[in-house]
Amino acid sequence: MNKVINDFSIIVGTKNGSGSSTANNTILRAIFKMGIPVSGKNLFPSNIQGLPTWYTIRASKDGYLARREEQEVVVAMNPDSFTRDLASVAPGGAFFYADDIKLSITRADIAIYPMPVKKLVRDDPNVPADFRDLVGNMIYVGVLVHMLGLDIETVHAALNFHFKGKQKPIDMNFNAVKAGADWAKANLEKKDPYYLERMDKTDGMIMADGNTAAAIGSIFGGAQFVAWYPITPASSLAEAINDYIPMLRKREDGKNTYAVVQAEDELAAIGMTVGAGWSGLRAMTSTSGPGLSLMTEFAGLAYYAEVPIVVWDVQRIGPSTGLPTRTSQADLSFVVGMGHGDSDSIVLLPGDVNECFDFGWQSFDIAERVQTPVFVLSDLDMGMNQWMSKPFRYPDTPMDRGKVLWEKDLEELKGNWGRYLDKDGDGIPYRTIPGNKHLLSSYFLRGTGHDEQARYTEDSVVFHRNMERLKKKFESARQYLPKPVLHETKGARIGIIAYGSTEAAINEARVQLERDHGMKTNFLRVRAVPFTPEVDEFVRTHDQVYVVEMNRDGQLHQLLVLANPESAMKLISVAYGDGMPASARWVREGIFAKYTNGSKPKSVKSITKKTVSKNGKKGAK
């Protein structure tokens, strides 16, 4: 049997609320500390306790971080998902299960390993009775130590990190790991080909989730006011600000340069944010689709009254309440024109956790420079799952506070200013900030029609002039937005455009498309709407452009068609939304199904013919 080293997926099936996350994070950290590129994804129900939940860990010597649809190593700890878990093991794979689950094993094509989880925990007199279930999860970690070659020293290091050096829980959990490993050594015979071996591919890398990265980026951006309302999958973003900001903004006088307010709902969360943005603070809120729907009226006000704010939307799949714990990229159309009347939005689209950090601070610069709401669209997969990444980079430009006039500026201008006066011809006016004591500083902000001096007016000419200036402002805004990221293959005439968390799956799929079908592709990952000129250029210079995204209607595709009507026929939508993170297989098959080259092999089925596999995920057989 040929060994398969550092190139397989592990999935652990447990009950929600059973405390398995410590065990799963320990495996993830240990693999990472072995130097093996790894990613971890939590597939969890919208439930506190009891429903099945899965954690997938992908080890990839080649550094691919996207979800895979196949799993070679399955650990079944939950009787309710046992049958499904057993069926999900790839042929030739390994199936570990807690031996107190008395269900029949119906497969002969995989290696079967029972684990006496309950017995081993009960045998340890140092584990109190009410800790047995929690610590029991460490037994499977120990079994994997022996059976896969998970390094026990790195497991210890991972536990040490997790419990922040507290000896008692470290020892209790590590003893269970050792008990599992010792038992496996004495009782199990290796019958599968999957192994972990040390590499050096994670040196200098970090692992982080996008919400934490966004939070820390925002703090480095000088976030001063955060208002939020709990919602999955965005809550951990504001919570991470609460976790990190006391350390990062600690002062000698013990006083705070910021305020984080948990509001009574999303209306109030964004309302407070708009109030704070108006009064000169770097103000932000974070939410997901349902919260964003509630925020619409304030988004329109902030657009029209020109108040800088940052709104993070960690997307989950809708419409309505949808699947609260599943990922999506279906808020783009909504956000782009958010609000009634003629509106525009600036939308930033981070593609990995590093960009969540970068856009955390850059979003404030853009919002204050352009004086408008900036929406940052992340998603559940990026926001809540662990991604290997380069370390966060300290901001390389000073803060841009935009066109703000304080007392001495007004003195120099001799009061010659107007809140909505386009002095510079770029559509971006100057603003003063409450607390300014200059007699000519004040103005009355409103969502009603206003003239250059912010005075109420119903004059059609003035109204129209202001709306045209706002349009010009958004033209000017393009220069401040992040440019797309281009991945090129020499000689490629086929393009792929996408945004956000699908990048990992797309880059993996591109390798497969070239290897299996000879399709060379260039890939442009868009990072902002309105589009910067590079996007138009990319569309113009490719024969076919596949627009890949996780939603039903091809929202990015629609925006690209609107922006490039003359190229509409060569923009091809590859859109699919079922709540699961993109996989390379889905991207590859989705593109290939629509590929209209005559040499296309007939054997590959289209993704429209689906079979249900693991976790209800539809994928081509």
161 interacts with another protein by CB under 8 A:
yes
212 interacts with another protein by CB under 8 A:
yes
C-beta of 112: minimal distance to another protein in Å?
A: 33
| Binding residues for another protein restricted to 228-247, rule: CB under 8 A | 244
C-beta of 279: minimal distance to another protein in Å?
A: 2
- What does the DSSP 8-state code read for residue 565? G
17 interacts with another protein by CB under 8 A:
no
Contacting range for another protein; rule: CB under 8 A; set: 3-11, 257-265, 365-373, 491-499: 257-265
| Binding residues for another protein restricted to 164-203, rule: CB under 8 A | none
Phi, psi for 374 (deg, rounded to 5):
-115, 120
Q: Judged by CB under 8 A, which of 129, 394, 490, 566 binds another protein?
A: 394
| Binding residues for another protein restricted to 284-303, rule: CB under 8 A | 297-298, 301
**Alpha-carbon distances of 259 from 162, 222, 299, 488, rounded to whole Å:** 28, 12, 21, 44
Would you state the structure tokens that stand for residue 565, as one six-digit string? 């009507």
Per-residue x/- mask for another protein, residues 364 to 393, rule CB under 8 A? ----------------------x----xxx
| Binding residues for another protein restricted to 527-556, rule: CB under 8 A | none
Nearer to another protein, 256 or 416 (CB): 256
Q: Judged by CB under 8 A, which of 13, 180, 233, 277 binds another protein?
A: 277
**Which among 214, 151, 157, 210 has a CA at the least distance from the CA of 181?**
151
283 interacts with another protein by CB under 8 A:
yes
Nearer to another protein, 245 or 607 (CB): 245
Strand partners, 283: 225
Would you state the structure tokens that stand for residue 615, as one six-digit string? 């976790």
448 interacts with another protein by CB under 8 A:
yes
225 interacts with another protein by CB under 8 A:
yes
281 interacts with another protein by CB under 8 A:
yes
| Count of residues that bind another protein according to CB under 8 A | 75
CA Rg value for the chain:
27
463 interacts with another protein by CB under 8 A:
no
276 interacts with another protein by CB under 8 A:
yes
Q: What's the number of CA atoms in the CB half-sphere (13 Å) around residue 259?
A: 10
Q: Are 387 and 209 in contact (CB under 8 A)?
A: yes
Specify burial of residue 321 (Cβ count, 10 A radius: 0-12, 13-18, 19+).
exposed
**Which among 599, 576, 579, 578 has a CA at the least distance from the CA of 588?**
576
279 interacts with another protein by CB under 8 A:
yes
Would you state the structure tokens that stand for residue 4, as one six-digit string? 């398969």
Q: Judged by CB under 8 A, which of 119, 185, 198, 446 binds another protein?
A: 446
Integer Cα distance of 610 and 621 in angstroms: 7
Report how far Cα 324 is from the mean position of its chain's Cα atoms: 14
Specify burial of residue 244 (Cβ count, 10 A radius: 0-12, 13-18, 19+).
middle
Integer Cα distance of 572 and 592 in angstroms: 11
In this structure, the chain runs to a length of 621
| Binding residues for another protein restricted to 309-338, rule: CB under 8 A | none
Q: Which helix (H) or strand (E) holds 374?
A: strand 373-379
Contacting range for another protein; rule: CB under 8 A; set: 112-120, 428-436, 462-470, 503-511: 428-436
Contacting range for another protein; rule: CB under 8 A; set: 53-61, 169-177, 264-272, 480-488: 264-272
Q: Judged by CB under 8 A, which of 17, 114, 169, 222 binds another protein?
A: 222
Nearer to another protein, 15 or 58 (CB): 58
Q: Are 80 and 50 in contact (CB under 8 A)?
A: no
